[in-house]
Amino acid sequence: MKYIYFLLITLTFFSCQEEVVLDLRQTSQIPVIEGIWTNSNGLNQVHVSYSKNYYSEEQNQVINDAEVFIINQRNGQRVSFVFNEQIQSYLPFNNRLGTVGESYELHVIIDDKEYISIGKMLPPPTLDSLTFKYNEDRVFREAGYYVTLYGKIPFVEENNYRLKIIRNDTLLNRRSDYLLFDDTFGTSILERGFELGGFPFQEGDRVRLELYRLNDDAYNYLSQLVSLLFNDGGLFSPPPQNPISNIKPVDGVGEVLGYFMVSPFISATINITEDDSD
Amino acid sequence: MKANHFMRFFLILFITYPLFFLANPQAVLAQEDSFLEGQVFEVATNNPLPGANVYWENQPQKGVVTDLDGNFRIPRIELPSKLIVSYIGFEESIRVINQKDHNKPLRFFLQESQMALEEVIIRDRRPDENVKSLDMGKSVVAIETIKNIPALFGEVDLLRSLQLLPGVQTAGEGTTGLFVRGGSADQNLIQIDGAPVYNPSHFFGFFSVFNPDALSGVEFYKGNIPSNFGGRISSVIDISLKEGNYEKVRGEGGIGTISSRLTVDGPLFSENSSFVVSGRRTYADMFLRLSSNPEINSNDLYFYDLSGKFTFKLGEKDKLSVSSYYGSDFLGLSSQFGLGWNNWVTSITWNRNISERLFFDLNAYHSAYQYNVNFDDPDNGFKWGNRLSESGVKAEWNFNVTENTLINWGVHSQLYNFAPISLDPAPGSAIEPIATNPRNGMQNNVFIGAATDVTDRLRVDAGLRWAIFQLHGRGVDYIYAEGEPSPDAEITDSLVFRPFQRIKGFNGLEPRLSFRYLIQDDLSIKASYNRNFQYLQVASSSSAGLPIDRWILAGTYVPPIRGDQVSVGVFKNLEGNKWEVSGEVYYKDIKNIIDLRQGANILFTDNVESEILTGNGYAYGTEFLLRKNTGRTTGWLSYTYSRTWRQIDGISFDQWYNPRFDRPHDLTLVLNHEFNKRWSAGLTFVYTTGQAVTFPVGSYEVDNQRLPLYSGVRNDDRFPDYHRMDASVTWKNVDKGRKWKGSWNFSVYNLYGRKNPFAYQFTEIYNDQINFTPTQTDVIESRRPGVVMTYLFTFLPSVTYNFNF
């Protein structure tokens, strides 16, 4: 689809753009919950906030008095989360972690209204090695060093992956930096070598890749989020909709935004140096 | 009870007429001597002249009109009398008919009028036809009329011209998709010489595939679709390729701002056969190659189309024509990436006059559409493509029982082949190949229709079409847990079907009924009811079609669409047919339309049904039309008030919502004026309510992204009202006997430069620059929420040189 978007850009050959101010309707505040639960230290947190007016340039209103906890569905073990003023998010008490193979419930209670989401921490694929090589300028690809990821996906189902790319300790988080893939094109992608085609690096860059294996609903949420970021409101785009959240009000009444991601975490790092190029 | 009455009437009509003539053959024969027959030709080309008026002196109201082959048949009066043949733009022919002429074949040759340049033909039809005919929601648009309408880039466009008729909406600026009386773009049957065209657009829908020079006419049905047409619920656009002349080789063409075209026609081998070939090509890529920048001159961007028609008169009673159309688009980047798509449509038609009253038409066709995407890259390259085709045979008989009673019947068989979608990665690619299973279907239709005058004032037309559709192998059907397909449903089994093995079948009766009551000779009311089934549709959630759109056939989980429409209208002519006024109201009910689930990815899946949502819709509206047909100034003013609604579980909280093309108010003015033999001008003004769209009601942040917040109610907001004026001026080289005749057309699209929005994008604006897309190394100094409006084509002038020889 990335290519299709590129092609549609050619339609703007005879188009012009300008910024306008539309009189938009407003809705009441809706809670936004973003929960990350992995088997790694330093990643697990739950962020709770409210939505705001479209044109508002103020910081999101963070909810700091919610009750947040995660329950292991198998043994009922509860992990409480505590609000951290510094990062404006809830962190697990005692830096507790998730375990691969276990299923978890996220509970968030805001003003006596409880929200819940469920996720299973699936086994991770194998990440063997990273290599890189220099590529000349080509269609859809700038000149630069490109990283190739090698590994193995031994699973026949629930193949939903997200790759995060951290360049020199900075997460690449533009809309075009999302790297989501499933098994539409097979599962041998890592064995054959998965070149990160859209990400040119320079000599001296330090590249860290983080690989997550997501549940279907969390993966679909992120896929829809990316589609929404690329939705240009034109005839060729589907009608815009909020990504479907995997978090629900316990009583089934009301709205909630955001998602809960339960995932194993694996990562690898490589330094781009001329001497090591393939 | 009403249904019983209707069926009884219907049965009586069809049973009694054949019995009547079988039992009483002399009823037909007795009338033979009471008619005079003949044929009318255009003297310059020797071509038959359809639509000419033939009447006895002082009795114009009892006249008749020549048919498509120029034939006429008029009740005889006491001889000798003067018979008059007239046609707009031609000199009148008056001949005294004596008793001895009665049994001779009469041939009239009409000379083009010297004053013809001062007339513009709006419609090729007889006076009072709009009042006296049974047609409702039907427009016969002359190609000359279309050519006189100011055009985008000067490219005369058939489908864009149809958008100017009442009841037809557009999806957005510049696009050629038609949304007829609340129907979607895939609910229109667009056919050339009887063969359907699956993707009738070039350049992502901004131009239609029809080269106007290659066409002879178009009939557009949006209300009462006759029983000999079927398969789409909203409209039929029946386009005829031009037939070559039989006298001498002629040519016409044009050199435009973005394309040029050439058409040549003439006799082939003898005076009994003719040919016409036509071609058009854009040349944007040729300009690109002039650039010294290799990043620009290595790109391709073009479309072209070619068409041809060969006609053979096989005697007095038979005519055979073979026509073919091929149109192709290509977009290429640096010889490495290419996207191309093409239509190839071929049809063979045999017309036979079995007798003076019975006519037979046999049409066989094949229509194929395919697209290909090719990315030549050693690491990530692939070839992706798909092809679909329809082949068909249609046989139709038309029987003129009496002057006022017509019966037609026929059969139509269609074979659909939707090939697997295939994606083949380059040898070194990390991704694996994809191939879906094919989908095949067969549809057999029988139809019958009859029209007669019940009284002097009441005319009735009734028709019935019975379509039997079968989805068959080769193919695969999937079985889902709990019987219902969904992305989460487990596939418990898959059934493999052999070629032509039945997978799923449907059939449905499609009745048509219409009445015309003549209050006065120039005033009538009409009513019609129409039911159609549609066994294939496009699975898409966007409003405009893309070349890679996926057509799907009705099957185990996707029922056929059913459309029912009732309409009532009043038709009035003024000042001796100089003006026409009409008003129509309609209501349309639609069952089993589809949309896609949120986030559906249907491009490569073999389980399309799991991504589809099914629901219903309805539409209603009222249409007014004021049309001036003759004189130096011609044109029309139309106004439509219409609404359309959809209800599909899973969308908009399962509540009724408006699709994007719901645009309640629609006003159109089309004017043409002939100043003199050299100069003429055209003016078009359109005003419509803005498109129904979804705007955000807030924003929030997830995953470090700022997202617009939507209410969940679909299309609850509106673009601003759309309005635009186009104008054109044409200068013609006065005919001084030279063979080469040229004319210049200067046109301006969007004369007053209105910035009609094409899209609003709700996005973050970085560094106060709306087009700034930060790279990995750019410094972001500021970011804020914003709305960026995209608009197209403000004050777009163009010039075209047209010629004929």
- The reported pLDDT for the residue numbered B13 is 34
> Do β-strands B698-702 and B692-693 pair in parallel, antiparallel, or remain unpaired?
unpaired
How much is the pLDDT for A197? Answer: 83
B17 has a pLDDT exceeding 60: no
A33-70 pLDDT per residue, tens: 999 999 998 899 999 999 999 999 988 899 999 999 99
Band of pLDDT at residue B160, cut at 50, 70 and 90: confident
State whether B86 and B150 are in the same domain.
Answer: no
Spell out, as residue ranges, where chain A has pLDDT lower than 50.
1-12
Closest-CA distance, A99 to chain B, in angstroms, reads 23
Burial of B118 (0-12, 13-18, 19+ CB in 10 A): middle
B178, B197 contact by CB (below 8 A): no
Minimal Cα–Cα distance from A27 to chain B, Å? 6
Whether B324 has a pLDDT exceeding 60, the answer reads yes
A131 at the B interface (CB within 8 A)? Answer: no
B114 has a pLDDT exceeding 60: no
Do B195 and B260 lie in a common domain? no
Is residue B773, in this structure, part of any structural domain at all? no
Whole-number pLDDT of residue B116? 34
CA distance, residue B758 to nearest chain A CA (Å): 6
Tell me, yes or no, whether B230 lies in a domain.
Answer: yes
CATH number for the domain harbouring residue B104? 2.60.40.1120
Contact A220 B599 (CB under 8 A): yes
The pLDDT assigned to B426 comes to 85
Q: Which of A17, A51, A139 sits opposite B789 (nearest CB)?
A: A17
**What are the E-state strand segments in B314-457?**
318-333, 337-353, 358-375, 382-402, 405-418, 422-425, 434-435, 439-453
Assess contact for B327 and B209: CB atoms under 8 A: yes
- Residue A71 to chain B, least CA–CA distance (Å): 23
Which residues of A fall within a CB distance of 8 Å from B784? 57
Whether the predicted pLDDT of B721 surpasses 90: yes
| B478 lies in the same domain as B593 | yes
pLDDT tens sequence across B172-213: 776 778 899 999 999 999 999 999 999 988 887 778 888 888
Same domain, yes or no, for B232 and B258?
no
pLDDT (tens digit per residue) in B490-507? 899 999 999 999 999 999
- What does the pLDDT look like over B247-291, one tens digit per residue? 889 999 999 888 899 999 999 888 889 999 999 998 877 766 766
**Are B211 and B306 part of one and the same domain?**
no
* B144 vs B695 pLDDT, higher one: B695
B279/B153 same-domain check: no
pLDDT of residue B410: 97
Q: Do B519 and B645 fall within a single domain?
A: yes
A195 touches chain B (CB under 8 A): yes
d(CA A185, CA B604): 9
Count CB neighbours of B575 within 10 A.
9
Residue B787 maps to a domain: no
For tokens 């090591």, name the residue: A276
Report the pLDDT value the prediction gives residue B555, as an integer from 0 to 100. Answer: 94
A76 CB burial (10 A radius; 0-12, 13-18, 19+) = exposed
Nearest CA in chain A to B339: A7
Whether B513 and B467 map to the same domain: the answer is: yes
- Which residues, 6+ apart, have CB-to-CB distance to B114 below 8 Å? none
User: Could you list the residue range(s) of the whole structural domain that residue B176 is in?
Assistant: 129-239
Identify the H or E element spanning B4: helix B2-23
Q: What is the pLDDT of residue A244?
A: 95
Domain count, chain B: 3
- Judge if B632 and B505 occupy the same domain: yes
In this prediction, residues B711-732 reach a mean pLDDT of 93
Domain end among B81, B113, B145: B113
Contact A49 B714 (CB under 8 A): no
What's B200's domain CATH number?
Answer: 2.170.130.10
User: ipTM of this predicted complex?
Assistant: 0.92
pLDDT at B14 over 90: no
Q: Indicate if B54 and B152 belong to the same structural domain.
A: no
Q: Is A240 on the interface with B (CB under 8 A)?
A: yes
Q: Which of B39, B45, B109 is nearest to B247 (CA)?
A: B45
Residue B15 binned pLDDT confidence (cut-offs 50, 70, 90): very low
For B28-84, the pLDDT digits (tens) are: 333 346 788 888 988 766 778 887 888 887 776 677 888 878 888 888 887 888 888
B527, B567 contact by CB (below 8 A):
yes
A111/B contact by beta carbon, under 8 A: no
Q: What is the structure's pLDDT at B123?
A: 41
Give domain status of residue B292, yes or no. yes
CATH of the domain at B532: 2.40.170.20
* Domain end point (choices B83, B113, B143): B113
Asked if residue B772 is part of any domain, the answer here is no
Q: Are strands B35-42 and B434-435 parallel, antiparallel or unpaired?
A: unpaired
Same domain, yes or no, for B268 and B372?
yes
Top residue of B169, B379, B538 to mutate, by most chain A CBs within 10 Å, is B379
CB contact under 8 A, B699 and A53: yes
Task: Tell which wins on pLDDT, B585 or B21.
Answer: B585
Per-residue pLDDT reduced to its tens digit, B229-250: 999 999 999 999 999 988 889 9
Is the CB of B707 less than 8 angstroms away from the CB of A175? no
In this prediction, residue B16 carries a pLDDT of: 33
Domains of chain A: 28-122+215-263 (2.60.40), 126-213+266-276 (2.60.40)
A192 interface with B at CB cutoff 8 Å: yes
Residues above pLDDT 90, as percent of chain B: 52
Same domain for B38 and B76? yes
B724-774 pLDDT, tens digit per residue, is 999 999 998 876 667 888 899 999 999 999 999 989 999 989 888 888 877
The answer as to whether B442 is a domain residue is yes
pLDDT tens-digit series, residues B421-453: 889 988 877 778 888 999 999 999 999 999 999
Instruction: Give 3-state DSSP helix, strand, coil % of chain B, rounded to 5.
Output: 10, 55, 35
Residue B774 lies in a domain: no
A180 touches chain B (CB under 8 A): no
Whether B776 is covered by a domain: the verdict is no
B766: closest chain A residue by CA: A174
Using 50, 70 and 90 to split pLDDT, how confident is the model at B295? low
Q: How many interface pairs between A and B have CB atoms less than 8 angstroms apart?
A: 223
Instruction: Say whether pTM exceeds 0.95.
Output: no
Domain boundary among B214, B239, B264: B239
